[in-house]
Amino acid sequence: MASSSVLSDQQLDNLKLYKYSSIDRSLLSKYVLRHYWDLSVKFFPLNMAPNLITLTGLLFMIFNVGLVFIYTPTMEAVDAGPSWLYYSFALGLWLYSTFDNVDGRQARRTGTSSPLGELFDHGCDALNCSFAAIIQTSALGVGHTKQGVIIYAIATAGFYLSTIEEFHTGTLYLGYVNVPTEGVCLLCIMYILSGIYGPHIWQTPLNTMFDNLPSFLENMALNDIYIGFVAFMFIFTHIPVCFYAMYKACREKGKPFIRSMLWDNWPIVLYISAYYLWVTSPYSFILSHGHFALFLLAVGIVFGRICSKIILAHLTKSESPFPTGLLIPLVIGAIITNLPIYTSIEPIFTPESEYHFLVFYFFLALVLYLRWAVLVIDSICTYLGIRCLRIPEQHTKEH
């Protein structure tokens, strides 16, 4: 009875209309990695469910996040971990990417493709945004700084736009240069360099490497250039491409573009605004007391819930969903830490109380997200007559 309230009968019926559609323009995927993925899938047994492959890939990232908490909790270059730690980051990300590309091939190989597979795959990708940000921040050695804050903001905004674009167009579009392909390769190289030279290599000032630099570059380091490049690509390539695709989709369907964009994108604007205002407030202790990784885990689950609801709406041909109520504690945290700036109210948070609030927020988000995910998965599996992490006997022969 609980699961029946998660999805309506109409939404469940619409699952039968599901047809996966994607476009990958990456030349690296087309000419190199595609052959690697086609070969890799043959190493997975036919009785291993595609969703289990997806989940296993995510576990590599979770394992590396655990290593960050153990070996380099400050995520700063001065508190660098052993060399093998950064090599493990590269290996974990590469395996995650491999498993993420193999799961769909396994589904086609075993004849078990379903809308649940796309929900499970993209849902894990959404959760991985926070894991990847923690690992990336540690490998760059930027620690609890605004640079780390910006890295996560760009990652979530970019993923959200791709998700809402797919909701409108019905097709997952990956450009000639995209994060799941070229971005993963670049990060793996960066992690290996961090293992060879240490994460402090990214704090190297450009003026020690090059002469006659323009004045605005003299005081910048390698990590500034990297973050600036990522921001540039996001603003001038990703955003325009996503919005243009949504504009064409709205025009074809006769939907009002401006109204649709305002409704569909206000959740991510609220999410990133509250996230940034809270963590950068002078009355927040998240950065100063080393709680940024915990904070990312909490808000990362919230982000996963937001995006998963959009993916589910896409699969069930539903209207754009209202964002999760788990945004409320995030907004409350932003208000509490910013009220003293604009009013005469005394600061409410202390280092201890804010930490306890973050711990509570993390467990609240985790429990509610898992409960929702289990109910949705159970509802879809019951309706379609499938299993989430197992393949029925009749599908264990290669198609």
List CB contacts of 140: < 8 A, sequence separation 6 or more.
147, 151, 190, 194, 199, 202, 223, 226
Distance CA 358, CA 328 (A): 13
Q: Kindly calculate the radius of gyration of the chain based on its CA atoms and give it in whole angstroms.
A: 22
Answer for the pair 9, 382: CB distance below 8 angstroms, yes or no.
no
Residue with tokens 């985790």: 366
Measure the CA dihedral 26/31/37/38, to 10°: 130
Question: CB under 8 Å, gap of 24 or more: what pairs does 229-237 form?
Answer: 230/151, 230/154, 231/150, 231/154, 233/177, 234/154, 234/157, 234/158, 237/175, 237/177
State the residue for tokens 């392909």.
181
- In order of 202, 319, 322, 323, the CA distances from 263 in angstroms are 39, 11, 9, 11
Residue 1 burial by Cβ neighbours in a 10 Å radius (0-12, 13-18, 19+): exposed
| Residue 122 annotated in active site | yes
Scan for tokens 């921001």, then name that residue.
Answer: 231
| Distance between CA atoms of residues 175 and 234, nearest Å | 12
Closest CA to 118 of 43, 182, 46, 170: 170
Single-letter residue type at 99? F
Catalytic residue among 35, 122, 238, 395: 122
Residue 377 structure tokens: 């998965």
158, 234 in Cβ contact below 8 A? yes
Active site residues: 122
